[in-house]
Amino acid sequence: MSIRRLFLDWTRPSLAVAVDYLVERFGAAGALDLGGVIVALPGGRSSRRLLELLVERAEAGGRTLVPPRLVTVGKLPEMLYTAKRPFAGDLVQQLAWVEALRNAKPERVAALLPSLPETDDLETWLALGEMLGRLHRELAAEAMDFQSVVDCGGRIEGFREQPRWQALLDIQAGYLRTLDGLGLWDLQTARLFAIRHGECQTEDQIVLVGTADMNRAGRMMLDQVADRVTALVFAPERLADRFDEHGCLVPGAWQDAEIELATDRIEVVDGPADQAAAVVRAMAAWDGRYAGDEITVGVPDVRLVPYIAQQLRQCDVPVRYGVGRPMTESGPCRLLEAVADYLDGKRFSSFAALARHPDVQRWLEARPIRSDWLTEMDQYYVDHLPHRLGGRWLGKPEGSAALRRVHEAIEGLLSGLDAPRRPLAEWNPPLVELLVTLFGGSPLDPTVPAQRTTLKACEKIHKTLAEHQAIPAELTPTVSGGEAIQLVLRAIVGERIAPLPDRSAVELLGWLELPLDDAPALVVTGMNEGIVPASLNADLFLPNQLRRELGIEDNDRRYARDAYALAAVVASRADVTLVAGRRSPDGDPLAPSRLLFAADAETAARRAVRFFHREDATAARLVLPGVLRAGRTESRLGVPRPEPLAEPVASMRVTEFRDYLVCPYRYYLKHRLGLAGLKDEAEELDGGAFGSMAHEVLGDFGRSPVAASTDPEAIAAFLDAALEHLLGQFYGPAPLSAILVQVEQLRARLRRFAQWQADWAAQGWRIEHVETGPEPEQASLVVDGSPMFLRGRIDRIDVHESTGQRMIFDYKTSDTLKTPRQAHCAGGEWIDLQLPLYRHLVAGMGIKGPVDMGYIVLPKDTSRVGLQRADWTEDELREADAAAETVVRGVRAEVFWPPADPPPAFSEEFAAICQDGRLGSVLDDKDDNGDAE
Amino acid sequence: MNAERPFPNVVIRASAGTGKTFQLSNRFLALAVADEPFDAILATTFTRKAAGEILDRVLLRLAEAALDDDKRAELSRFVGCELDRPRCLAILQAMLRQLHRLRVSTLDSFFIQIARSFSLELGLPPGWQIVDEIVDRRLQAEAVRAVLESQSTQDTLRLMNLLSKGEVSHGVSRQISSLVEGLYAIYAESPPEAWDALPRLKPLAPEQLRAALTDLTEAQLPGDKRFVKARDTDLERFRSEQWEDFLGGGLAKPVVNGTATYYGKPIPPDVAAIYEKLIDHAKAVLLGMIANQTKATHELLGRFDEAYGRLKTERRAMRFDDVTRRLGTAWLGGRVEEVAYRLDARLAHLLLDEFQDTSPPQWQVLRPFARQVGDGDRRRSFFCVGDVKQAIYGWRGGVAEIFEAIHRQIDGLESASLDESFRSCPEVIETVNRVFEGIAGNPIAVRYPEAVRRWAARFTKHSTARHDLAGYCRFETAPRTEEGGTQGHDTLAYAAERVARLRDEAPGCTVGVLVRRNASVARLIYELRKRGVAASEEGGNPLVDSPAVELLLSVLALADHPGDTAARFHVAHSPLAGPLGLARHDDAAAAWQLSAEIGRRVATDGYGPTLHDWTTRLAAECDARDLNRLVQLVEMGYGYEAEATSRVDDFIQLVRSQHVQDPTSADVRVMTVHQSKGLQFDVVVLPELDARLVGQPPQLVVGRADPTEPIQRVCRYVSRETRPLLPKAFVAMFEAHERRVIEESLCVLYVALTRAVHMLDIIVAPSSVREKNIPSTSAGILRATLVGDGAIEPETVLYEWGDANWAKTLTGQAAPEAAAVQQTLPLRLAASSARPTRGLDRRSPSQLEGGPRVDLALQLRLDTSGAADRGTLMHAWFEQIAWLEDGLPDDESLRRIAEKLGPRTDLDELLSQFHAALERPAIADALRRATYHQPAADDARSAVHAGPEVADPRWEVLRERRFALRDGESILTGSIDRLVILYNGPVAIGADVLDYKTDAIGPNDPAAIDEKLNHYRPQLDAYRRAVSAMYKLPPERVSARLAFVSVGVIRNV
Ligand code: SF4
């Protein structure tokens, strides 16, 4: 006896029709007892929906409902037999494959895998295991094994893959042996065993609802209980020959089938955002006829979900994507990832990421730690560029007090996981403890979305840990804490957390769920070739030709499935719009789906003309769906105007003048408001830090006994020692490697400096002052009758033993050499006033007499290390003073507006405030192509 | 159709605008018309966009031909076969049904398809993916770090010093990064021995050297002071190791040259002999240095490669060229058949577009296919189209000579060339002809005779089919820069001025401003926007061109860095200050709080919703453009979620680097000439032709035995002066390199000039005051042709051709500009029904146990005792019991039930526990029919005891009774362990719910039981509700009881 097929009306929603059928067949007065019925559906969502409809129907008819067992067709087999052995979990299966692969004869495996992964590369081994498992599962679902392929290949012209499949066959045998040895089975083996031994049985009635695509194993099992099975096929009777005796699609019959569909229901638009806009347009065209819960949006391409969700939210329409967010995006998973990353090497950057994890922050908040530790951590990084934290703390203790406590706390938190390698399941207790500590502080409320997410993720993690526990000792890998976490996360990839129900929401559904959806209004996006239908045009193991020969899922079957789905979708509702894009979210060109051409030749041709003609899509993009509306024709987001200063400026650093000359507004931000960016992304010393280090060393030198030495060796030796000392002091005993190299680069420059210094001293010059400046309010520039006090530290003042002449020096360590003139003047204007203003500082220090000025440069070309004398004339210096006076007047009058235009080249930290990007960035003006003057 | 070879193997040289794609689609269609299987045709091109266009073109032409007689006649002509309507329709339909089998793609994606099917053989890590540029850059940075970490400081220093010729710049990672960026491609494409190809000479031994120097010091020189002076200088240079100066001057130079005379006087042979020794030494040292530098470069790149490769394997990340290289080197040669099998297609027809841009590694993969289809089998064919004149991708590995070498690779190729433009007006084409027809005689170009000779050979006079187009070409100078300025910048500013005017003169026309350098693109955009011209970069600009986006980024920046006072100030002085609670930039406490809030929000809601919320708050202050950019930012936020890290900084960085086209500003597009390839504009402005034809010297120069072969030699760049010292092959390699640079410069000029439909505006700098000759630039070439000798004055039109008022002749083209004002699309939905049925929440009573909140510590307890399994088994056993009076299942069947649930070792013990439970009076009572005939104890009273008041009592027992019903806003569904219904006649009058609990409870621990009672109360209440609804019983007629089987206690809830 074979299965009973019933062809049911497809012009109404399938599930409603299915409910009618169930009521008619099983209903009685006052009762709808489906206690002895199993209803199998293609997907989870349709099961849930069917239950809703049954409840509603029972309630409306005043019947007491005993619901049926609802299963997805993939789970149906397990209701038909009793497995003789427990099932091996996913990871156990993968490990068994790995075991089989490792134990197979190398010379045979070579046909499959010319080179094996490194022995300890568990990740890659498992990935291979997973791949083999997938192949095994796919064939087994069709009641086949690798031997079937070997047999079948003989019938394919030019089939040269026997050796590979022989190897696979060996491995498969090994895999089954391994599981067997452990007293375990995999699902496929159990099903095949039940089929082979005719063990399928049930006392229930089985009703298949819209299961037009079942695998061979499933069908064979149903055959064994055929007298209890009814397949509801949603299609008119006249299409009966397109379905086989199981009510499944006959692929061949669908290839040339026409799908009734009006061309004007198809929209072909440009990119993903345009598809989303097309959804809004279609919904707007319904003009309020449907409520949110009567509308479904089909999203076969999950990448479009965010675009559609956003555009609908923008229209104040609630949306619900039942599939939900990937679990890997949940707090617990991101935490585990951050922890694993940190455990692997304990780098500062991973610490900084872990400490910023919101739940870690929250946990830290509950402890007695100053709340500004994040800023302290940034600053500590900027100052010391640590490779990792812990060990010796650098700088002043009060500068890292809070950070140290954070570090201690986190190290404590992870102490259980930071231990030697051990068998996988032994990591479970510390992992649970970590989760409980961070997330279990107070009970979680599953009706609050965020808490529900946490809960769901923890549940899944918990389940995975339980699976780890169940791995037979023979297969248990020995791993580090970080690897254990990676294995947990590996099991979670692909899991999603469904959002809480929202009854008023427009529902976003995947393609597979659409045929059984019953909303009267539908927009389907992503009607593009390769998405609907998917097709496989090359494969590592099972190319299409082989698939066809084996009778397993091939392109024809995929097409048939989707053609039927589309036909049913279109037939069953009042309003359908189909949308196809021309461009994927990655920018790849897309073609419309073949399904959109499933029409008579003439119609297909007309559609082709419409779809393949690319018009400009810009105009559509200008219309912004929804309620967001620009408030003005001219943006009010201006650059903030300077505000009056609280106190008049009484003193200025000599280096400030330059900043004012460059841009008065940025000067205001930097010096008057003291604003600064703060980041922790440096990979090595920047120019400033490199320079500071050089200055420190040279300062120490100037104060040292060898300051007057004429022996280059002695000077060099001192500089070396000072450099070494400062390196340790600034950057600790184990600095970043880049810094070590940089220090050597600096050392090379200092060596040449030693040489120069010795010569200089031999000429009679002695260092008189080092890093010195006037006392407060001792040096000033009198402008308009009142003094502007000047501040600043002069790197060094030398005096000549015999002439008494003095030189003021500034050390310059930038890579390229600039003379004082180049640094101070450009295009006939003063752009910096530092050296000229030093004259006033010196006067304020009570130093009288003629003073010369210059740079001691230490550029990358070490042959040029030495003195660069400033050669300004008295007239020029007077001009400089005048320029300084203008600056002082500007500062006093608080002239800080407008910002310089175009923006100066080094003002990145204020670029956002100054809206530098508005006109495009002209900062990067170095020759990037190497071919222009 | 040709009888013996229906589809000739052909190479088409197609000049700019002559319809390459059209030719390719002709061939494709001709093959289709001849019933060749579609999947035997492979058509490839270089960009995904172009591939999409080819496919569209093929289908569109076929569809149009099917519907329109004229188009059909035209198509028949092009495919050389008379087509009727049914035939067209049939072919079209067949093609549409096989859309998935049409192989029109980029070379890269074709290669990837092969690689995916051979990933095990190619040693690609399982699950590999192609990484995008941003991720790749991150990986590279990480690899550089790893290189630094993995080797000693001394070692790094040694390499750095070799590389930087002794200079000690402070940025180490930066330096390595830029080295890698520039040279890694060469490394990857060359065998190690190529880096060691420079022969090393033997320097003099120390004692020989000393002797030679002494000899020279004491040598008898002619009595000419100049001789002595030169000798002394030579010695000085030699001793201070200024090798190049030594070899290029003094007495050494004439000896090197072989003239051996100085100021007309012969150098004595014995002196010359000494010099020869020293020269050999200097050469040996110098070549040694070059060889060492080359090797050091290789070493460093090798270390990088190792770290980078490891990272890529670890992350399963591959780049396109990794795939190409593996395919090329690993295996393909003999396995074309296997490829056909796994790709499910026997490729018989190859159609290759833009062939001049093919790189040698790509050709290596293609060659076996090409050879196979070109092997004389008449059912196969080879077709390629390209234009060596447009070969401008040398920097990306393209080697145009492959195009020219193809005849050597495939036998019997026919060639054709296309020189009629379907794009440009006659004026533009004539200008192109003027420039390039005379290129061989162009006084600037002839400075590079070899390159120009080759280039000239490729150019044939162009013509145009577009005599209908009005046109105008202009060659003019920008103002001269004042002192302190930069001429290049001023020329660009002037060009911006011109564009602003052009936009008014030719409204609705597309304008392309083409430059050489990316930096100039940015500068031009700046200059144009300053003049109110909406300009966009090709591919768009990063979103930070909107101040509103910058503001949101500052808000986000605070999440990671609450101490960033600049960001604080930015937020505090914005409309978001109030909503975000940050009124003052110096309010550190508020900033910290905000920081934590943002971090949390982004983590729980995601970037998209968070940014959307802020956007809503900001919209009122925005103009249309800002709002548009904000919406795009929100979109980016939504798309980012999957790759989000725990650092907000990473997202900010992405926003700053990702280019996003701004749909509201498409007036004028600015791009490099490279990006303009394949595009056309009504007006083309060229403001940056003042670049030298010979650009900056490269770091490395490479040589191949044949353009189609792998790299054979690599050498650090050597200055022109030193080059004569190199072996001949190396000298030739440098010459070939320079020749290619010039050729490519000419290609760039050609591409730039041929983009215009109507108008070409060339803007160059005026002659500088110091100019003596026309400089060797693209502008110079144009000057020499179009203007002639002599200096050029600022702000002068030097050459004009055509109608300056061309734009006025356009009719109907002046489309009104898209209104920048934003429209919105309102969306109205019906009100939701009062009692919706879709998407109801589902609850099961067992979810309710313990109340609505979950204690994670309990939830996560890892059960090592198997308690959960034990509970399941106990329930299964209890399910067997209807009424105790009717008997128990025997142990045998109980064991069978247990087996189904999985093997266990404690079965005997569990069985005895089960029996013990049934022995406990309370439990046994609850399972007996008899019990319900009499009243029960108070603490375990059920609602189904029936005394004499019930006339016709009947009890029904249901086990594992499933139910589903509406419970307020949700569906309550589950199953009841044991449900006893009391009927009076046909009417249900009471029900008793019994729920088995297997919790371990100590004996005599009433407190524990009370606690459990509370814990399970919500669950039992739900059962009661369900039963009361199902049987329409008042709640008080439904009892709900817990049976603690291990201690034999039953309690009413
Ligand atoms: S598909 Fe059919 S023919 Fe091929 S191996 Fe399986 S049983 Fe044999």
DSSP B384-433: EEE-GGG---GGGT--THHHHHHHHHSTT-EEEEE-EESSS-HHHHHHHH
Q: Kindly tell me the sign of the dihedral angle through the C-alpha atoms of B372, B374, B377, B379.
A: positive
Q: What percent of chain A has pLDDT over 90?
A: 79
* Residue A609 CA neighbour count, 13 Å, CB half: 13
Residue B78 φ then ψ, to 5°: -70, -30
Give the C-alpha separation, B281 to B938, whole Å.
Answer: 115
- Note the helical H segments in B770-901: 778-782, 845-848, 856-859, 867-879, 891-900
Q: Tokens 């509970």 correspond to what residue?
A: B871
The bridge status of strand B414-418 relative to strand B541-542 is: unpaired
Q: Do the strands B381-386 and B10-14 form a parallel or antiparallel pair, or are they unpaired?
A: parallel
Q: Within A763-828, where are the H helices?
A: 820-824
A289, A348, A628, best to mutate vs chain B, most B CBs in 10 Å: A628
Quote the strand ranges of B616-690, DSSP E.
Answer: 659-660, 668-672, 681-686
Q: Of A595, A666, A682, whose CA–CA distance to A912 is shortest? A: A666
For a ligand 1 pocket test, name from A161, A216, A549, A557 the mutation site with the most ligand atoms within 8 angstroms of its C-beta. A549
Name, in order, each residue with C-beta under 8 angstroms of B619's C-beta and a sequence gap of 6 or more.
A628, A629, A630, A631, B627, B630
Answer yes or no: do A59 and B965 touch at CB < 8 A. Answer: yes
Give the β-pairing of A829-830 and B261-262: unpaired
Q: Is the dihedral of CA A481, A482, A488, A491 positive or negative?
A: negative
Q: Do the chains contact at B517 and A115, CB–CB below 8 Å?
A: no
What is the CB < 6 Å shell around ligand 1?
A 144, 148, 151-152, 550-551
Q: Which amino acid is at A563?
A: A
- Among B133, B138, B564, B838, the strongest candidate for a mutation testing the A interface, having the largest count of A CBs within 10 A, is B838
Query: What gap in Å lies between CA A822 and CA B177, rounded to an integer?
Result: 30
Please give the single-letter amino acid code of residue B1049. V
Q: Quick one: pLDDT at residue A926?
A: 39
Contact call for A828 and B484, based on CB within 8 A: yes
Please tell me which of the candidates B574, B638, B646 has its beta carbon nearest to residue A307: B638
**Host H or E run for residue A497:** strand A496-497
Residue type, A210: G
- Distance separating alpha carbons of residues A838 and A653, to the nearest angstrom: 10
Please tell me the distance between residue A152's alpha carbon and the centre of ligand 1 in angstroms: 6
Number of the ligand 1 atom closest to the C-alpha atom of A151 = 5
A629's CB contacts (< 8 A; 6+ apart) are B619, B627, B822, B824
Residue B299, token pair as written in the block:
């070493």
In this structure, the residue with its CA closest to atom 3 of ligand 1 is: A152
pLDDT-flagged residues of chain A (< 70): 1, 615-627, 906, 920-933
Are B56 and A612 inside 8 Å of each other by CB? yes
Note whether A65 contacts B541, CB cutoff 8 Å: no
Question: Residue A478 forms beta bridges with which residues?
Answer: A423
A-chain residues near B547 (CB < 8 A): 635, 637, 915, 917-918
**Separation CA A487–CA A426 (nearest Å):** 13
Axis crossing angle, helix A712-731 with helix A737-762, rounded to the nearest 10 = 150
Residue A278 is given by DSSP the state H
CB-based contacts of B130, cutoff 8 Å, min separation 6: B112, B317, B318, B319, B320, B323
Distance from CA of A708 to the nearest CA of B (A): 27
Could you say which of A280, A291, A447 has the minimum Cβ distance to residue B827? Answer: A280
pLDDT at A929: 31
Residue B93 contacts residue A257 (beta carbons within 8 Å): no
Please name the residue of chain A whose CA is at the shortest distance from the CA of residue B748: A931
Bridge pairing between strands A325-326 and A496-497: antiparallel
Three-state DSSP at A823 gives: helix
What Cα–Cα distance (Å) separates residue A265 from each residue in A579, A600, A612, B194? Answer: 8, 16, 16, 62
Burial of residue B304 (number of CB atoms within 10 Å: 0-12, 13-18, 19+): buried
Ligand 1 midpoint to CA A838 (Å): 94
**Cβ-defined contact of B692 to A529 (cutoff 8 Å):** no
Q: Which tokens sit at A382? A: 């900027």
Q: Do A545 and B344 touch (CB under 8 A)?
A: yes
Contact B1043, B996 (CB under 8 A): yes
- What is the pairing mode between strands B317-318 and B129-130? parallel
- Give the C-alpha separation, B584 to A114, whole Å: 65
Please tell me the predicted confidence (pLDDT) of residue B240: 85
Chain A residue numbers touching B853 (CB-CB < 8 A): 443-445
The answer to whether the CB of B446 falls within 8 A of the CB of B402 is: no
The answer to whether the beta carbons of residues A606 and A263 sit under 8 Å apart is yes
Give CA B507 to chain center in angstroms: 36
| Nearest-by-Cβ selection for A315 from B145, B618, B827 | B827
Residue A12 CA to residue A518 CA, distance in Å, equals: 8
- Four-CA torsion A147, A150, A154, A159, nearest 10 degrees: 160
For the CA of A144, the nearest atom of ligand 1: 6
Whole-number Å distance between alpha carbons of A473 and B134: 43
Check: CB of residue B630 under 8 Å from CB of residue B618: yes
Q: What is the amino acid identity at position A225?
A: V
From A139, A144, A159, A215, give the residue whose CB has the most ligand 1 atoms within 8 Å, as the site to mutate: A144
Nearest-neighbour CA in chain B from A145: distance (Å)? 20
Which residues does chain A have within 8 Å of residue B89's beta carbon, measured at their own beta carbons? 601-602, 604-605
What value does the CA radius of gyration of chain B take, rounded to a whole number of Å? 42
Contact between B688 and A588 using a beta-carbon 8 Å cutoff = no
pTM over 0.95: no
Note the helical H segments in B18-152: 20-33, 48-67, 69-79, 85-97, 107-117, 133-150
A329:B118 CB<8 A: no
Residues 6 or more apart from B605 whose CB is under 8 A from it?
none
Q: Answer yes or no: are the C-beta atoms of B1011 and B1042 closer than 8 Å.
A: no
CA atoms within 13 A on the CB side of B120: 18
| ipTM (interface predicted TM) | 0.91
Task: Give me the residue label for tokens 């280096």.
Answer: A655
Closest chain A CA to residue B93: A601
Question: Rounded CA gap, A13 and A828, in Å?
Answer: 82
Distance between CA atoms of residues B429 and A418, nearest Å: 72
What is the amino acid identity at position B272? A
Give residue B646's pLDDT: 82
Using the mean position of ligand 1's atoms as its centre, give its distance from the Cα of residue A172 in Å. 18
R_g of chain A computed on alpha carbons: 38
Closest by Cα among B536, B527, B478 to B500? B527
CA distance A375 to chain B (A): 5
Q: Which residues of chain B have pLDDT under 70?
A: 1-5, 331-333, 376, 664-666, 811-824, 836, 863-868, 935-940
Query: Given this model, what pLDDT does residue B3 score?
Result: 45
B985 neighbors B950 (Cβ within 8 angstroms): no
Residues in chain B: 1053
Provide the pLDDT for residue A925. 42
Counting Cβ atoms within 10 Å, is residue A908 exposed (0-12), middle (13-18) or buried (19+)? middle
